[in-house]
Structure 1
Amino acid sequence: MFDYKLLAALAAVIEQAGFERAAQVLGLSQSAVSQRIKLLEARVGQPVLMRVTPPAPTEIGRRLLNHVQQVRLLERDLQGQVPALDEGGLPERLRVALNADSLATWWAKAVGEFCAERQVLLDLVVEDQDVGLKRMRAGEVAACVCAGAQPVAGARCVALGAMRYRALASPAFVARHFVGGVDAASLARAPAIVFGPDDQLQHRFLAAQGGGPSFIYHLCPSSEGFVRLTSGGLGWGLVPELQVQGELSRGELVELLPGRVIDVPLYWHHWRTGGELLAQLTGHVTGRAGQWLVPLTSG
């Protein structure tokens, strides 16, 4: 039998990115949390954590995290059927990995009603849509929104739709950098804005115009900041059309190559044995995402 106090310590260290904050969440001393991790490692006969900053799970640690995530959700279902088992009476907290652009646009509208009605708290882990699935593999989240369609072992994947991106810049930026028109060469010379090291949207857009992988760019790991930098004339970038309808209508941003868009597919991944709450959230998200996302194209 598992000792779930030990598993709770492992989950807290990963979710809180360290022993000190894990101890605060668990109401224990840092030393006590460390001792529980050591005891867990002694029982499984190998390390469950890599002692790096922040701590990362080993392969066996990931398997244990996957298990404890699913047990938490199943326990919540049982508490609903047997209320006396609910010691704290606190709302359930669901840990979900989500890309920043979804968070900045459609996500709140899609899940707000669900969380209010079912008293669910969200613990959101913000990741690029191309890499968010690694949180599922690590057992750190119960579900994620990402661009990959291949589910991890023990999980299911449902298509949500696609987020449409347009290449935008401020009128002043266009006048300064694209006097002779917009093409692959002028795009590579003009400063772009890239969300982060994993963001390949600008690279894909340049490639579609016949350009190469080399161009100059600012790095801005914030969806809101990305739009502000673009509107402020610092660079051009691929921006979700959902996020900038006001800026486009007011003329603060203009499209560089009208009609040439990039549609990024988004998929909802969730554990198969995640219990009733996760199944209900899955139905809610998949039933509403189409109000804001464009349909996926085949091929």
Structure 2
Amino acid sequence: MFSQTVLAQVIVNGIGLSSIYILVALGFTLLFGIMRVVNFAHGAFAMLGGYALYFVYGVWGVPYIIAAPAAALAVATSALVLERLVYRHFYQKMFQSMIGLLGLDMVLMFTAVLLWNAHERSVPPAISDILQIGGVIIPADKLLIAAVAMATLLAFYLFTHYTRYGLAMRAAAQDVEIAKAQGVNTATIYRLAFFIAIFMAALAGGFYAQTYALSPLMGERPLMMAFIVVILGGMGSIPGVALGGLLLGFSESFLSTFYGGSTSVFVSFGVVILLLIFRPWGLLGTPEE
């Protein structure tokens, strides 16, 4: 039944979902926008972020506000090895990266199965309190997740608009050859962009595992959500990711509440198919010449 209380609850849930989706999709579109890499292993890094948070916070007891960024930082730092051994060979090779990184995704996923088995685990909530405002139930845990995610997105915005390396990343995303001609060290920018992309994927993966469940197979849904968001907003468009994440998060919250999860998935992919037919460059993307 539609009511102000239910709609307010939908909005609160939509904010939490949108913040997670924007985080995971931002890293995905960052790699594509700068290096033209379609990172099919993105979901696997989100899964590793979930396990990192599980051990750092759930097992070792590090305070959550430290554990969440520290776990993502550990995954991103370790991933630099793969950047050197694997990713570097796929920069500016879009179609080759799709095949190669799909294989990497399988390797990471089944390595996790061998290490931690396929059973689902749960990441303890950061805060167990429940807030109730005018009939709207707000788990404090989800409120903290949304706050940390939004703080991360704000930090990323400030970095890309007001720092030298951030401006260089934006220049490389627009035209890498012109950026080279202007003296931008693209090798350094590639490593930095990769590190930031994996950090955000791992952070989002920790939030996702905490909200739902943790297993080696959990990376498939964050990857699927990242695809939907970047297709909605436009591949390589950072403002498009923000718009796509908001649209997906709020629509999923609304449709799941009133019509069920199956309807939500059906509508999401239906919109993606229509968009690919009539506007394949997305809502805020630009058609390639």
Larger Rg, first or second structure (1 or 2):
1
TM-score by length of 1: 0.26
> Which has the larger share of strand?
1
Q: Which has the higher contact order (CA 8 A, sep 6+)?
A: 2
> Which has the larger share of helix?
2
